[in-house]
Structure 1
Amino acid sequence: MRMKTIMDILTPSNIQFMIFTGAKYSLLLAIGALFFGVILGIIGAALKLSKHFVLRAIGNIYVEIFRGTPMLLQIMFLYLAVPTVVQSITGQRFQADPYVCGLIAMSLNSGAYQVELIRSGILGVDKGQWEACETIGLNYVQTMRYVILPQAFKRIIPPLISEFITLIKDSSLIFTIGAVELLATASVIGANTFNYLVPLTATGAIYLVMTLCISAIARYVEGRLAVSD
């Protein structure tokens, strides 16, 4: 019986499945990074707006580190350097998961950019809102949760959608640490079929379709928000 070769396995239907599976991973990574980035952005914005010098310093250090260094460096640091530190401390070999490292790095990087978006949104809320909340006896946390953040997020939803588009494209960077997402899938197919043109063109088209669809959603949301104002 003839053994199956890689060319037998990579049928057109299998190639299509692999590419769309890679696109799914890219999209899921971007969604996860945006979600955790928003959480980090809220925390970072609260730190930078704090009246305490130490808290403000922590917020500033976080933003400067992750905005001032390339995301690719952050991904590789988590995947290659952190396991070395863990091994030196515990004495046990530690192998990092490329998807987890990619998600953490993307979230930390996105959060640093979202800090400034959220902070500007908070500062854009009328000061009278703060005074009104203080008058009715709301503390800082309650004021932020129930009054300030809902109004701030209304202003920053369009930039957040743009950040989501950036994250979809940046998800291709985890290809460098062995994670199989959309670009990695195209590279694997090209290497085994000796034809990079078709998989890379298809990959570019899928990235373009995803970003154009999300851009259309952003324009719709921005228009709805403008009407509601």
Structure 2
Amino acid sequence: MMDFSQIVPALPSLWEGMLVTLQITVLGVLGGVVLGTLLALMRMSHNAVLSKIAATYVNYFRSIPLLLVIIWFYLAVPYLLRWITGQDTPVGAFTSCLVAFIMFEAAYFCEIVRAGIQAIPRGQMGAAQALGMSYGQTMRLIILPQAFRKMTPLLLQQSIILFQDTSLVYTVGLMDFLNTARSRGDIIGSPHEFLIFAGLVYFIVSFTASRLVKLLQKRLAV
């Protein structure tokens, strides 16, 4: 018979794990959106070289498993910093995982941003240029604000997926929410109860966030 009574005393440590999960999610989304926007602008550029580089980046990262990317960056980031700085720079699992998520998610955010920009009528670009605005000013002041409003639900939906994917950091030993729950369960001798509780928390957070995204989508549509 399952006993969930040991979960309550473990809540402080589980909350610490959840904070790690939320930090990776928030920072991963912010970094991914910034890098993804730059990649989207590169893909839509008239410069064939920039467009090709961005397309190759997106296609590459969308063709490999996230788990593999996390392991790669966990092993490669220290060597990369050593090559750049010429000295051994300690890099923790958190930083390596964060870099991996930003680089990986940027490929998906790039396509969302590109679709949002392409959804804006082309006439607005021509009208802005007729008023003497540069390409950069037009993108920054007219196109991107409208595009982000249209693609906000998709960005949030991808953020929910990122929240779920953070559970993969267990492979490099980072104590996120799931890994903390698994560890505490093994120590106490109630692994099944803690994993069930962790799954329930992930479901509640993801389901609630998805419902809020749908409500926001309806509101923006109006």
Aligned equivalents of 2:202 and 2:219: distance in 1? 26
Secondary structure of the equivalent of 1:42? helix
Q: Does the 8 Å contact 2:17/2:175 carry over to 1?
A: yes
- Alignment TM-score, normalising by the size of structure 2: 0.92
Q: Following TM superposition, by how much is the alpha carbon of 1:69 offset from its aligned partner in structure 2, in angstroms?
A: 1.3
Aligned equivalents of 2:199 and 2:57: distance in 1? 33
Aligned equivalents of 1:95 and 1:16: distance in 2? 31
* Aligned residue in 2 for 1:202: 197
Pairing 1:42–2:17 present: no
1:136 equivalent among 120, 131, 149:
131
Pairing 1:175–2:173 present: no
Question: Match for 1:161: what amino acid?
Answer: L
1:188 equivalent among 176, 183, 189:
183
Q: Following TM superposition, by how much is the alpha carbon of 1:163 offset from its aligned partner in structure 2, in angstroms?
A: 0.4
Aligned equivalents of 1:174 and 1:110: distance in 2? 15
- 1:89–1:168 CA distance, 2 compared to 1 (3 A): closer
The unaligned stretches of length 5 or more in structure 2 are 1-5
1:213 equivalent among 208, 213, 222:
208
1:144-190 deviation digits (Å, cap 9, x = unpaired):
01100111112211111110110111111111111110111011112
* Aligned residue in 1 for 2:74: 79
- Equivalences for residues 57-72 of structure 1 within 5 A: 57-72=52-67
Aligned equivalents of 2:128 and 2:152: distance in 1? 24
Question: Match for 2:189: what amino acid?
Answer: F
The unaligned stretches of length 5 or more in structure 1 are 1-10
- 1:44–1:89 CA distance, 2 compared to 1 (3 A): closer
Aligned length: 217
Aligned equivalents of 2:214 and 2:84: distance in 1? 50
Aligned equivalents of 2:73 and 2:154: distance in 1? 27
Q: Does the 8 Å contact 2:77/2:96 carry over to 1?
A: no
Aligned equivalents of 1:161 and 1:85: distance in 2? 32
- Alignment TM-score, normalising by the size of structure 1: 0.89
User: Considering only aligned residues, what root-mean-square deviation do their CA atoms show, in Å?
Assistant: 1.7
Q: Following TM superposition, by how much is the alpha carbon of 1:89 offset from its aligned partner in structure 2, in angstroms?
A: 7.4
Of structures 1 and 2, the larger Rg is shown by: 1
